[in-house]
Chains A and B, each alone.
Chain A
Amino acid sequence: MDDISVIAALVEHKPGVLFKVSNLFRRRGFNIENITVGPIETSDLARMTITVKGDEATRDQVVKQLRKLIEVVHVEVLKPESLVQRELALIKVKVDSPETRREIMDYTSIFRGRVVDVSPESMIVEITGTPDKMDAFINLMLKYGIIEIARTGVTALTRGKASITTSYPLMLELGE
């Protein structure tokens, strides 16, 4: 059974680090669903959220191989039961009549999305949510004709007080 795991990694925020991480995945043949990266405001680290498809052994290898990279400071598998996952997509849809426009706007509001651009033949909808929700919305749009989609990939945090940025200094002390 191929499960989806979400891994969070703190990495040095330096040029070339994303290359090393993605090159590692390629070299080891890991199946990465998506990866998102952003700097952490409060430090010189960046946080990666990586979604991996595969069994438990694969996920373990991904984590261990990631930890081997010197530039990777800390890695955690996020607990699936307390995970908040979000993705953002911009979807450009064909519009050929006022009814179509009305329908798309209705769907957009049901999905708590926003219309961010309108032209006589198209609209752009912005939508955020879990990957499932994104897929559902995109499916609904198929019949109107999708011109283009830009998806960011999943980013995620665990619920509650716990955070990998707070557990990381703790790890450091243990390692001493």
Chain B
Amino acid sequence: MLVVMSGARALMEALKREKVKVVFGIPGGANLPIYDELLNHDVRHVLARHEQCAAHMADGYARASGWAGVCFATSGPGTTNLVTGIANAYMDSSPVIAVTGQVSRPFIGRDAFQETDAIGITAPITKHNIQPSKASEIPLAIRTAFYVATTGRPGPVLIDIPKDVQTEVEEVEFPEKVKIRGYTPYPPIDPQLVHQAVALIANSRKPVILAGGGVKYSNASKGLLELSETLMAPVATSFMGKGAFPEDHPLSIGIVGMHGNPVANKLVQEADLLIGVGFRFSDRTTGKVGEFCSDAKLIHIDIDEAEIGKNKRVDAAIVGDAGEALSMMLKQIREGGFKASEDWGRRLEEVKSQLQAEEEGEGGLKPPAVIKEMRRLLPRNAIVTTEVGQNQMWASLHFKAYMPRTFISSGGLGTMGFGFPAAIGAKVAVPEVPVVDIAGDGSFAMTENSLATSVAENIPVIVVILNNRMLGMVAQWQRLFYDRRYSAVKLDKPDFVKLAEAYGAQGLRPQSLEEFREAFKKALKCDVTTVIDVPIDPEEDVMPMIPPGGGLKDMIEVA
């Protein structure tokens, strides 16, 4: 049905059809018609204080909710400020829709005020981008954007709308469906390939499953659990896969990689078969890729065929949706009758109990203890986001995630400043659940202005700063690999308690583990954003770690 309306109205109507209830953004000259139209619609707008934060909020919203997150920015500097957030979403396959204003059509290409080539700049960091050239093209552009962003391997999509297209009044039509001839999000799975994979499984004695972020995106956690229990195979996750498998399950061995769990890093090396599901052989996960599982057979399941063989050659590959692939495999395995090796089960027990013994006896205001305390005080479905650096690695090692979409972190781009705005986005998506950002002082300082959003918009989250007054991870590398020559890593500003108070948030500074416990309980009860500034030893290292350029076998367990 054709209706006459402006481009801006068509945009808002189209967003509503995609069930968009909230948008994160900042207005400006080139998107004023959109912001004016916003007043006519029942869509919540969360005002960010920097477009990077708006994009991270949309990203956090997407990762927590499982639906796309939307952000708005004006042209030029608004768009370029979004770039870090969009790249972050791209690297972690998160469905973020960015709607940017553009200068009017007659000005495009003339270096007009606040003109930037949004399409050119974002082409390498988006799954797709579109610049509608008429108001009537907007509904299809938005349908396409959501369809592309949320299907197959998810990813960000940018829509760049010239200002005069926003005001142009035209007959528009809202399409029900899109058909894009160059896009097949769910390639049908070839049963022959499943067969090959199952044959490798039948011949294995020591299988390990490695689950990545793809398991979460395809909601395949149930299939993963069934596969591991059927095979009695330990499950490791990549950093992005954390939460895809409950970390308190007896078969869970934690995350593998540079700062992986020693149990995972050991067993992955001993495996004779690695079943990788929805993960991309990232260098942080594999260490030196040539050495990674070099004696084992490899099965790789991924929705993105370009990931197959990109970083590592594999013995069997299944291109398709992880959930579907897992259920096809399970069916064949059950028909074939697989017998798990008891020796392998015993080995898992042995490695696990060794590690538990080593772990006892930590106390004081040390990062692992603080994080474990948080886990005890939080419900199972609480959401944790992290910043980047030591805080992130401590969180991934010591905060056990039990469900998908409860551990949200910047894995691919490693963006300092991601965690706090992402926490705000997650809280908007799932308001009934506590949301905590585990932060470093350096990272938090990068997007601390989101405190204004958090307080003004009444989106209460908790920020726990593991404050070493250092760019800690960089300092750790300088300590370990540069002979303790500290270069540009010391920080001592600001006072985060006062900063929080300046924004109208609550600021707390515990001096012992007991005080931390009390502070955290207080934060959980409080309905305003709380910043808990936890002073920690600046010399603390994240261990274990694999030195840069090393393989899993080069893991250092204590400094």
Contacts and interface: CB of A to CB of B under 8 A. Distances in A.
A57 B308 CA distance: 10
Contacts of A68: 304, 306
B124 A71 contact: no
| Chain A interface category by residue count | 20 to 34
Contacts of B188: 174
Given A61-B310, A64-B305, A27 B183 contact: no
B282 to A, nearest CB: 16
Contacts of A16: 119
Main secondary structure of the interface of A (DSSP, over half): helix
A85 B120 CA distance: 33
Interface string A57-70: 10011001101111
A23 B124 contact: yes
B128 A70 contact: yes
A19 B123 contact: yes
A20 interface: yes
Contacts, number: 41
B309 A27 contact: no
A77 interface: no
A110 interface: no
Interface residues of B, number: 21
Interface string A1-42: 000000000011000100110011001000000000000000
Contacts of B182: 11-12, 69-74
A144 B313 CA distance: 50
Contact of B180 (A24, A70, A74): A70
Contact of B309 (A20, A60, A73): A60
Contact of A67 (B124, B180, B305): B305
Contacts of A65: 306
A136 interface: no
B281 to A, nearest CB: 13
A172 interface: yes
A71 to B, nearest CB: 6
Interface of B: 119-120, 123-124, 127-128, 148, 180-184, 187-188, 304-306, 308-310, 313
Interface of A: 11-12, 16, 19-20, 23-24, 27, 57, 60-61, 64-65, 67-74, 172, 174-175
27 contacts: A11-B182, A12-B182, A16-B119, A19-B120, A23-B123, A23-B124, A24-B124, A27-B124, A57-B309, A60-B309, A61-B306, A61-B310, A64-B305, A64-B306, A64-B310, A65-B306, A67-B306, A68-B306, A70-B148, A71-B182, A72-B182, A73-B181, A73-B182, A74-B182, A174-B188, A175-B184, A175-B187
3 tightest A-B contacts by CB?
Answer: A64-B306, A175-B184, A73-B182
